[in-house]
Amino acid sequence: MTRYTYMVKSTWTRILRRFSMFLVLVLPLLHCSPTTYIPPNTSGIQTLSNTIEYEQNAEDIWTKLSHYISQSSYGLDSLDAKNYYAELSFISKRFHKYLDGGTLDEGGFNGYKGDFLELVLPTNDYKSTLTCKIRIQLTQNNLSTTTLRFLVSYETIYAKTKNNVLSEYKFDSQKPILISSENPAINFTIVPSFLLEKQLYESFSKFH
Q: What is the pLDDT of residue 93?
A: 81
pLDDT tens-digit readout, 135-162: 999 999 988 899 999 999 999 988 877 6
Q: Quote the strand ranges of 46-202, DSSP E.
A: 51-54, 75-80, 85-92, 99-100, 103-105, 113-115, 128-140, 146-161, 164-172, 177-180, 187-192
Q: What percent of the chain has pLDDT over 70?
A: 80
- Distance (Å, whole) CA 57 – CA 144: 5
Which of 4, 65, 91, 105 minimizes the C-alpha distance to 208? 65
Residues in Cβ contact with 181 at an 8 Å cutoff, skipping those fewer than 6 apart: 37, 187, 188
- Distance (Å, whole) CA 122 – CA 142: 48
- Distance (Å, whole) CA 13 – CA 102: 48
| Mean pLDDT over each residue of the chain, to the nearest integer | 82
Tell me the mean pLDDT in the region 86-97: 90
**Confidence bin at 26 (pLDDT 50/70/90):** very low
Decide: pTM greater than 0.85: no
- Reduce the DSSP state of residue 184 to 3 states and report it: coil
**Confidence bin at 60 (pLDDT 50/70/90):** very high
